[in-house]
C-alpha cells in the first residue's frame, strides 16, 4: 500500500507540471494574421556579409504571416513571434548548386531580427522545393522569435531565404519573398518663409510621432494630440543653409520627410528714390561709362543692402541696366528715366529698388538779334549817345520747374574799323536810369520760371536814348572819332544766360 501511494503522488506531480508547461506555450504562441502592410516581394537584400553572387529566377511564394503584438493588423515593436506561411520552389538563375538554406526575418539593412537559432537545411540542387509536398505546392510554416524593440530603425522587414551554393563557397545570398512595409508619413511645415535667422519652425504631423531634421542632434519634438508641432532651433542654426528637411518617424517604423527652402532675404534701401539732375549733372552723366554712371547714382541715392541678420557683409548693389548715358540723352527736358537696382550676396537677391532720375528743363535763348545798327552820324565834337535803328530782340525759353531762376549777362567788344578803335563803347541803361559799361560782364536782367515758358527780355526797351524811363543798349561816343566817307565801326555783344548768378 505504501508503494502505490508514492507512485500516484509522483504521477500527479508530473501531470501537473505537464499541464503548466503546455498552458504557458499556448499563451506565447497566440498569433493573429498580419492583415496590413505586408505583401509578396522579390529581390535581393544586400548586407556586408552578403558575399554570394548567385541570383534566383524563382522565389518561394508568400502565403501569409501571423504574429503577436499586432496594432491595426500590422506588426509593432511589441511583436515577439512571427510565423511565415509559404510554398513553392527556389531556383538559381545560372544553374548554381544550392547546398544549404534557412528562412529568416531581416531588417532594412539585411540583418536578422530573429532571436531563435536558425538551423541550416542541407540540400543539393539548383532548384529546391521549400514548400510542403513533393512539388512544394503545399503550404509550409516556419516560426521565429524576434526583437523589434527598435522597429523604427529596422523597417521595412523582409521574409527571406538565406542560402549558400557550391560556387559561392562560404558566401551568403539573401533573397526576400515578402515585405513588412512601413507607412509614409506626410509632415507639413506651416512656417513660411523660413530664413537663415528662423529660430522656430511649426507644422503638422501624425499625433505621437517624432520630428527631427537633417543634422539635428537634440531630443526629437513630439507631435501633439492636435496634430501640431513646434520646433525651437538654436540661434543661427540655419545660417548658411539653403534648405531644411524635417524627418517624421514613429514607433511603428513609419517615416516621412518634408523639405522647405531656407532663404536669406536681402533688403535694399535708398535714402533718395528720386534725383533731380542739375544741368551740370546732366552734362557729366551723359559722358560717363555705365560703371561710373551707376556709381554716381548709387552715391546720390545712398543705396545699401542688408541680409536677414541686419548687416551688409558681402552684399553688393547691382543693376542690369546698360547704355545709361545714351538713354539719358534721349530723355526730354523735365522728363525722367528709371534704373532698377537690387542687392545681392551672390546667391540671394533682393527685390528691386527703382531710382528715378529727373532730367532738368533748360533755360536757353529762343531769340537773339543777329545784328544791330546804330546808324550813320557826323563826327561828334562832344560826347554823344546814339540809339539803335532797330529794336533789340532777346528772348529766352525756360522749360525748368516753376521757380527756377535765370540770369542774363552781356559784354561787348570795342568797336573797330581796321586799325582804328572808336573812342566810346556800348552801355546798358536800366529803366531806373543806371548805366553800365559793357566792356565788362553786366547783369542785364534776371527772373524765374513762372507759368509761362518764355520771356522776351527786351520787351519794353527803347531805341530812344533820351527816353530814360526805359531800358536799352546804346552807343556812347566820345570826340576824336576817325572817319572818312565810308568808315564803318563794328563789334560784338556776347550774351550769357545762366541758372546761377556770376560771382
What's the pLDDT tens digit per position in 303-312? 999 988 888 9
Question: What is the rounded CA–CA span in Å between residue 450 and residue 443?
Answer: 20
Q: Which domain holds residue 454?
A: 363-498
On whether residue 22 sits in a domain, the answer given is no
Where a domain ends, among 340, 358, 376? Answer: 358
Per-residue model confidence (pLDDT) at position 92: 94
Query: pTM of the predicted model, to two decimals?
Result: 0.55
Residues 43 and 143 in one domain: yes
Per-residue model confidence (pLDDT) at position 216: 78
Residues 105 and 243 in one domain: no
Name the band, by pLDDT with cuts 50, 70 and 90, for residue 46.
low
The CB density around residue 434, as the number of other CB atoms within 10 Å, is 9
On whether residue 10 sits in a domain, the answer given is no
On whether residue 16 sits in a domain, the answer given is no
- Judge whether residue 28 has pLDDT over 60: no
On whether residue 6 sits in a domain, the answer given is no
Question: What is the rounded CA–CA span in Å between residue 495 and residue 372?
Answer: 14
Percentage with pLDDT > 70 across the chain: 93
Residues 279 and 398 in one domain: no
* Mean of pLDDT values over 346-362: 90
**Mean pLDDT score across all residues of the chain:** 89
Residues 176 and 36 in one domain: yes
What CATH number has the domain bearing residue 320? 2.60.40
For residue 370, give the DSSP letter: S
The pLDDT tens digits for 243-266 are 999 999 998 989 999 999 998 889
Where a domain ends, among 180, 208, 224? Answer: 180
Secondary structure tally for the chain: helices H, strands E: 5, 38
Residues 166 and 40 in one domain: yes
- Judge whether residue 286 has pLDDT over 70: yes
The CB density around residue 164, as the number of other CB atoms within 10 Å, is 22
C-alpha distance across the termini of the chain, in Å: 151
Name the band, by pLDDT with cuts 50, 70 and 90, for residue 95.
very high
On whether residue 234 sits in a domain, the answer given is yes
Total domain count for the chain? 4
Where a domain ends, among 154, 180, 206? Answer: 180
Per-residue model confidence (pLDDT) at position 49: 63
* Mean of pLDDT values over 180-204: 94
Residues 344 and 258 in one domain: no
Residues 352 and 397 in one domain: no
Place of cell 532548384: 127
Amino acid at each position: 500500500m505504501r508503494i502505490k501511494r508514492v507512485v500516484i503522488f509522483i504521477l500527479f506531480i508530473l501531470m501537473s507540471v505537464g499541464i503548466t508547461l503546455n498552458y504557458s506555450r499556448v499563451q506565447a504562441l497566440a498569433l493573429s494574421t498580419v492583415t496590413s502592410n505586408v505583401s509578396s516581394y522579390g529581390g535581393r537584400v544586400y548586407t556586408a556579409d552578403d558575399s554570394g553572387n548567385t541570383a534566383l529566377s524563382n522565389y518561394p511564394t508568400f502565403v501569409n504571416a501571423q504574429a503577436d503584438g499586432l496594432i491595426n493588423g500590422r506588426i509593432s515593436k511589441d511583436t515577439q513571434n512571427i510565423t511565415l506561411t509559404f510554398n513553392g520552389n527556389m531556383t538559381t538563375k545560372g544553374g548554381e548548386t544550392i547546398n544549404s538554406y534557412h528562412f529568416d526575418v531581416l531588417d532594412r539593412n539585411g540583418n536578422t531580427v530573429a532571436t531563435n537559432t536558425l538551423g541550416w537545411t542541407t540540400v543539393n540542387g539548383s532548384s529546391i522545393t521549400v514548400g510542403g509536398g513533393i512539388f512544394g505546392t503545399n503550404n509550409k510554416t516556419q516560426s521565429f522569435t524576434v526583437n523589434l524593440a527598435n522597429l523604427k530603425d529596422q523597417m521595412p522587414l523582409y521574409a527571406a531565404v538565406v542560402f549558400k551554393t557550391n560556387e559561392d563557397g562560404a558566401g551568403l545570398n539573401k533573397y526576400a519573398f515578402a515585405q513588412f512595409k512601413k507607412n509614409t508619413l506626410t509632415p507639413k511645415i506651416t512656417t513660411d518663409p523660413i530664413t537663415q535667422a528662423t529660430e522656430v519652425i511649426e507644422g503638422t504631423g501624425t499625433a505621437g510621432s517624432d520630428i527631427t531634421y537633417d543634422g539635428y542632434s537634440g531630443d526629437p519634438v513630439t507631435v501633439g494630440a492636435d496634430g501640431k508641432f513646434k520646433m525651437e532651433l538654436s540661434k543661427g542654426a540655419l545660417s548658411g543653409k539653403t534648405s531644411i528637411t524635417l524627418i517624421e518617424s514613429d514607433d511603428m517604423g513609419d517615416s516621412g520627410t518634408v523639405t522647405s527652402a531656407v532663404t536669406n532675404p536681402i533688403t535694399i534701401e535708398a535714402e533718395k528714390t528720386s534725383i533731380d539732375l542739375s544741368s551740370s549733372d546732366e552734362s557729366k552723366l551723359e559722358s560717363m561709362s555705365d560703371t561710373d554712371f551707376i556709381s554716381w547714382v548709387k552715391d546720390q541715392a545712398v543705396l545699401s543692402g542688408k541680409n536677414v541678420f541686419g548687416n551688409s557683409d558681402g552684399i553688393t548693389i547691382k543693376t542690369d541696366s546698360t547704355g545709361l548715358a545714351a538713354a539719358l540723352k534721349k530723355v526730354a527736358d523735365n522728363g525722367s528715366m528709371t534704373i532698377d537696382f537690387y542687392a545681392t550676396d551672390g546667391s540671394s537677391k533682393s527685390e528691386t529698388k527703382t531710382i528715378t532720375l529727373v532730367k532738368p528743363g533748360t533755360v536757353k535763348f529762343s531769340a537773339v538779334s543777329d545784328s544791330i545798327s546804330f546808324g550813320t552820324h557826323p563826327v561828334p565834337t562832344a560826347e554823344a549817345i546814339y540809339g539803335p535803328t532797330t529794336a533789340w530782340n532777346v528772348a529766352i525759353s525756360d522749360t525748368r520747374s516753376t521757380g527756377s531762376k535765370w540770369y542774363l549777362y552781356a559784354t561787348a567788344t570795342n568797336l573797330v574799323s581796321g586799325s582804328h578803335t572808336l573812342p566810346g563803347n556800348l552801355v546798358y541803361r536800366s529803366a531806373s536810369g543806371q548805366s553800365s559799361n559793357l566792356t565788362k560782364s553786366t547783369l542785364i536782367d534776371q527772373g524765374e520760371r513762372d507759368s509761362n515758358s518764355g520771356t522776351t527780355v527786351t520787351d519794353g526797351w527803347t531805341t530812344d536814348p533820351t527816353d530814360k524811363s526805359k531800358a536799352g543798349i546804346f552807343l556812347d561816343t566820345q570826340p576824336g572819332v576817325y572817319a572818312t566817307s565810308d568808315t564803318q565801326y563794328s563789334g560784338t555783344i556776347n550774351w550769357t544766360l545762366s541758372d546761377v548768378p556770376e560771382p
